[in-house]
Structure formats: structure tokens, C-alpha cells
Amino acid sequence: MGRASPLLRTSAAALLACAALWAYFVWQAPIDSMQGPIQKILYVHVPCVLGAYLGFALTASSGALYLWRRDERWDRLAAACAEVGVFFCTLVLLTGPIWAKGTWGRWWTWDLRLTLTLLLYLVFISYLLLRSFTEGSERAARFAAVYAIAGLMVIPLNYFAIDLAGGRTVHPENLGRSSLGAGMGAPFALGMLTATLAFAYLLVRRLEVSALRTALDQALANAARSEA
């Protein structure tokens, strides 16, 4: 008891190896001529956005699969994905203002991209709160699934916010093929891979906790039945 599963050990080893490589490439990446060293925040901020998008997209798809199959495991997966997604979104909302303070001179501005990121965060924080208040009921699981699918609509709005604002935004544009200079592609790609592996590792850990909670609830229910 207490030993990590082979899947967890493998994902931890892959994550550590990738994170070490990523750190090396970030350190070696050229200093941006316009922004200076602060531009290197890009290699950690955007990968955190990927983690958040991944978490929320998987929450909605697991919710849809729960509605279709009515299997509790999909509901538990949806809850775990939402929590990990909210964690990554928290990191987005922490690293973004650090970059903003150094570049714009202020921590926050009510720019469309920033506002929609905050909205996305609040939508899935509400999802987690909703679940915590109504734990265990099938009706709550169904409602949570529909809510997550509806909440997913904020992601395309968030991603295309710069285009929707018609250029009237201070947030940098989405990265294109030629956005990054020489030597900047590798740390960026490794950052995305590291974030994906970190997401997988944390999700596996979160699912283990979820399975143990279910087993404990089951044990408590069995004990109550045998006492009755």
C-alpha cells in the first residue's frame, strides 16, 4: 500500500526528463531583442493555457460520454479533468499578470482576452463548487455534464478573442508559424510537451484519489447496511 502505480511512475519519469530538457532549452533560448528576458515567460504561460484548454475540453467530452453511457466513471473523470484544468488556469492567471507588470507596467487590464480567460476560470470554478455542494446524486452529475458542455463554448471565444476584438486589444496575437524567432521553437514545443505530461501525471494522481474516495464511500455504505 502507498506505492505508486507503474503508470504513475512512468508518467513521472517522462515528465522529469522532459522538464529537464525544457529548462535547458529555455535557458539557452536567445533573448528577444524587443522585450528582453521577460519574453521567456511565453514558454511557460502558453503551455499552461494548453493544460487549461485540455482539462476543460476533456471535462466536457467526459460529461458527454456520461450522458450517453450513464457510467459513473465518466463522471469521475470529468470532475478530475475540471480540477486539473482549473489548476492550470490558475497558473495562466498568475503568469500572465507577471508578464503584464513587466511589459505594460500594470498587473491587469480589462482586455477581451484577459476578461474571457477570467470568465473561463470562473465557469469551471463554479462547476467544481456545484459538484462539491451536490456530491453523489445522479441528477447533479447530469447537470454538471450539461454545464461543462455549455461552458466549453468559452474556449473558442477565448482563443479567437484577439480577432473578435478586431485588433483593439493589448494582448499579443496568437502564435503563428513565423511568430517565433530562431532558437525559440524548441523551448516552446518542449514547454507544450512538458505541460501535456504534467497534465497527464496530475490527472492520474487525481484519479487515484477519486477511486479511493469512491472505495471509502462504498465501505462506509456497506458498514452502515451491515449495522442496520
Q: Would you count residue 45 as binding other proteins (CB under 8 A)?
A: yes
In angstroms, rounded to a whole number, what is the distance separating the alpha carbons of residues 155 and 63? 16
What is the footprint of other proteins within residues 75-134 (CB under 8 A)? 87, 90-91, 94-95, 98-99, 101-102
In DSSP terms, 174 is beta-bridged to: none
Joined together, the cell numbers standing for residue 170 give 493589448
In DSSP terms, 36 is beta-bridged to: 32
Segment interacting with other proteins, rule: CB under 8 A, options 52-60, 119-127, 128-136, 206-214: 206-214
- Give the count of residues interacting with other proteins (CB under 8 A): 35
Q: Would you count residue 215 as binding other proteins (CB under 8 A)?
A: yes
Kindly write down the DSSP assignment for every residue of 99-162, as one continuous string.
HHHHHTSSS----HHHHHHHHHHHHHHHHHHHHHHSTT-HHHHHHHHHHHHHHTTHHHHHHTHH
Q: Would you count residue 172 as binding other proteins (CB under 8 A)?
A: no
Say how many C-beta atoms besides its own lie within 10 A of residue 97's C-beta: 16
Which of 182/224 has CB closer to other proteins?
224
Binding residues for other proteins, per CB under 8 A?
Answer: 1-2, 26, 37-38, 40-41, 44-45, 48, 87, 90-91, 94-95, 98-99, 101-102, 198, 201-202, 205-206, 208-209, 212-213, 215-216, 219-220, 222-223, 226
